[in-house]
Amino acid sequence: MSGRALTWSSIALFLSTLAAAIVTAPQPVLHAQPSTEVYKDVYDGWKWWHVYCYRCHGVDAVGTTNAPNLTDPNAKLKPAQFLKIVREGRADKGMQAWDKLLEDKQISQIHLYVRARTDKILPAGRPDEVGPNKGPWVPPAGWPKR
């Protein structure tokens, strides 16, 4: 009889310890899309930017005498607008169409990079490949709003 009582008390102690551990364990932050995936798209956008766009729009998308500043918060383009402009170009403004060299995914990544710069969540300069200061990148909640 005492052996059984000891077993039940051991089980009760174990369960109460487990419950306390679950309650006090840090809870993960939930995101619509993992920040590592968003950051990879931003980083890939930066890479495409430096292959195709920086010569006219500047190293950090701040514009040059040849092309406008794309980080102006008052001139934000929605993803569909950005995609259309980059795909078709703007011959009247001297911008070539990029539809033969860039796929829609690449253009969307470039747009995400520009948005990160515009929204000031990505500083000027070359971003770290894995995240700021080689650590995890945590964008503001709900960023980017699509």
Q: Which pLDDT tens digit goes with each residue over 47-105? A: 999 999 999 999 999 999 999 999 999 999 999 999 999 999 999 999 999 999 999 99
Please, what sign has the CA dihedral across residues 36, 86, 76, 64? positive
Residue 119: name the closest of 109, 129, 111 by CA: 111
Confidence of residue 1 (pLDDT cuts 50, 70, 90): low
Query: Given pLDDT bands bounded at 50, 70 and 90, which one contains residue 133?
Result: confident
Q: Given a cut of 70, is residue 146 above it in pLDDT? A: no
What tens digit of pLDDT does each residue of 8-25 get?
666 666 556 655 555 454
Q: What's the mean pLDDT when you consider all of the chain?
A: 83
The C-alpha atoms of residue 83 and residue 126 are separated, in whole angstroms, by: 23
pTM to 2 decimal places? 0.74
Pair of tokens at residue 98: 């990029």
What is the separation of C-alpha 36 from the centre of its chain, rounded to a whole number of angstroms? 7
In the chain, what are the domains?
Answer: 35-134 (1.10.760.10)
Query: Contact at 8 Å (CB) between 109 and 42?
Result: yes
**CA 134 remoteness from chain centre:** 15
